[in-house]
Amino acid sequence: MLYTRPVPAHFPDWLALLPPLLAIGLALVLREVIVALFAGVLVGATLAAGGNPLAGALRSVDTYAVGAVADSDHAAILVFSLLLGGMAGVVTRSGGAAGLAGWVTRRATDAKRGQLATWGLGLLIFFDDYANSLLVGASMRPITDRLRISREKLAFLVDATAAPVASLALVSSWVGVEVAYIGDELESAGVDLDAYVAFLRTLPYRFYPWLMLLFGLVLVLFGRDFGPMGAAERRARLEGKLLRDGARPASDFAESEGLDDSVPPRGANALVPVITVVLVVLVGMVLDGRAKVLAEGGELTARAIFGAASSTSALLWGSATGGFVAVALGRRTLGTRGALEAWLAGLRSMLLACVILVLAWSLGALCRELGTAEVVIQTIGDGLAPGLLPALVFVVAALVSFATGTSWGTMAILFPLVVPLAAGLAPGDEAILLGGISSILAGSVWGDHCSPISDTTIMSSMASSCDHVDHVRTQLPYALTVGFVALVFGELGTGLGLYPPYVGLALGAVVIVLVVRFVGKPITPAP
């Protein structure tokens, strides 16, 4: 063999693949990502302990879980995620997001403007996909009902902006999770690149989220739909039936969130904290990076400054400051106690994400200890062209996300495998590395959009009071269309080195416009 592993010699090499494969398999079968990840950690720790299951169970907790939390970068990401969750909780409860919704919906006077307002509001509430689904659907439903827009179309526009926007936003509840996965695996692969800078550099390669956002806008501007969605829109516009006969609309999700209609909408309660976070993060990175570049005697260029800056520190400063500002503003509508309770509720909403992160870090550490990536590279390295890796990862991530209904869980399972594989198959090839990372993130969103058990898909149905089966049935052709365009013109084209990612995005955008124009049919306006 070309490598050695610190496990007993009598263990065959292929056992190094067992922990991640078990996690993937259980996630597909049980659709419970925490159970799947913990099982992978338990089996990996047992192998690392020489096959002793008791020692493996104990080491899973006192060595790997504690080691994951004890890492300073990991701890910073956990604290950042909790702080940003707390800020989002206050923003939501204090009427901030509702205020943004009011600003957007004032000019929604016909079907096109109503749909455009829904899409635009989805872009504004970018800091959390759950808050996006809840607030956009609940805020726009009375308006879209009046304009004879089908509940299926409303649910689609809500779903099509929730995860894509949150996954691409520079500051959102997704950022901590994405940066954590990227940073951990880049460090293990020996790639000298700041995690947040790497996150920024993956943005042009996120073909599916970008193209899905464009697809929703083009549908609205052209006034065309196709497939089951076209039939639903014609039913609503011509017959006034917002739901099909016999449909069972989901209950109003706002009730389960404890939102108080007596709280007045205040858009500033959302805009000011979010702007504060962005400014503090940017200024913090500039000051920190500048100090480090000067200390090293380097040239003060933007690339050098942001490359030397500590993104984790800047994110912590930003989220803490934004949370303080959100609580200060929230006191006006909720009172001091109410604002603090909303902040704590936001923290609790991030608990599941933190558990997934800790398990993912533990599984990643075990994969490195067992030499899983080396086994994968040696097994398929000669048979897989590096240029095909982004497309393959995109499809695998979509399948896992579809079966499990969770984007974050899919990322947790695939990152420890894909990043070392990309670094091993194409050493020094940044396009393949960034393409592989981006394919995990984009493919996870694609599968999440198609999955009927996805939390955001379910929440979009509930917030829009749409029959969940109808939402999935009408959205699926749209998600598959955009996913196929992203795969062919984005993942394959850039992976094979035919053109840079911006060209892939431009080509995909052209195809999206042509599909809507020539496949979609115009929806006759209401009389």
The pTM (predicted TM-score) of the whole model is: 0.72
Three-class SS of residue 446?
A: helix
Continuous H helices in 227-267: 227-234
Name 64's Cβ contacts closer than 8 Å, sequence gap at least 6.
41, 45, 362, 365, 366
Q: Which amino acid is residue 389, in one-letter code?
A: L
Q: What are phi and psi of 406, to 5 degrees?
A: -140, 125
522 strand-pairing partners:
224
Q: Is residue 59 part of a domain?
A: yes
Task: Give residue 223's Cα distance to chain centre.
Answer: 28
pLDDT value at residue 526: 45
Cα(511)–Cα(518) distance, rounded to whole angstroms?
10
DSSP 9-40: TTS-GGGGGHHHHHHHHHHHHH--HHHHHHHH
User: How many residues are there in the chain?
Assistant: 527
pLDDT value at residue 257: 43
At CB < 8 A and 24+ separation, what contacts does 324-329 make?
325/272, 325/273, 325/276, 326/86, 326/87, 326/90, 326/91, 326/94, 326/96, 326/269, 326/273, 327/90, 329/90, 329/94, 329/96, 329/266, 329/268, 329/269, 329/272, 329/273
Q: What are phi and psi of 70, to 5 degrees?
A: -70, -25
Cα(337)–Cα(401) distance, rounded to whole angstroms?
39
Cα(127)–Cα(124) distance, rounded to whole angstroms?
8
Cα(153)–Cα(117) distance, rounded to whole angstroms?
13
Q: How many separate domains does the chain show?
A: 1
pLDDT value at residue 501: 93
From the list 298, 303, 336, the residue with the least C-alpha distance to 94 is 336
Three-class SS of residue 249?
A: strand
Cα(59)–Cα(370) distance, rounded to whole angstroms?
15
Domain with 65, as residue range(s), is 1-7+19-70+358-379
Q: What is the C-alpha end-to-end distance of the chain, expressed in Å?
A: 74
Task: Give residue 287's Cα distance to chain centre.
Answer: 29
Cα(439)–Cα(398) distance, rounded to whole angstroms?
9
Q: Is residue 365 part of a domain?
A: yes
Cα(431)–Cα(381) distance, rounded to whole angstroms?
17
Q: Is residue 374 part of a domain?
A: yes
Three-class SS of residue 245?
A: coil
CB 8 within 8 A of CB 51: yes
Cα(313)–Cα(495) distance, rounded to whole angstroms?
33
Q: Is residue 292 part of a domain?
A: no
Q: Is residue 53 part of a domain?
A: yes
Q: Is residue 47 part of a domain?
A: yes
CB 195 within 8 A of CB 181: no
Assign 3-class secondary structure to 337-394. Answer: HHHHHHHHHHHHHCHHHHHHHHHHHHHHHHHHHHCHHHHHHHHHCCCCCHHHHHHHHH
Residues with pLDDT less than 50, the chain: 1-7, 251-258, 526-527
pLDDT value at residue 157: 95
Q: Is residue 318 part of a domain?
A: no
Cα(460)–Cα(451) distance, rounded to whole angstroms?
12
Six token digits for residue 343: 């902040």
From the list 320, 90, 77, 280, the residue with the least C-alpha distance to 175 is 77
Cα(63)–Cα(344) distance, rounded to whole angstroms?
29
CB 27 within 8 A of CB 400: yes
Q: Is residue 26 part of a domain?
A: yes
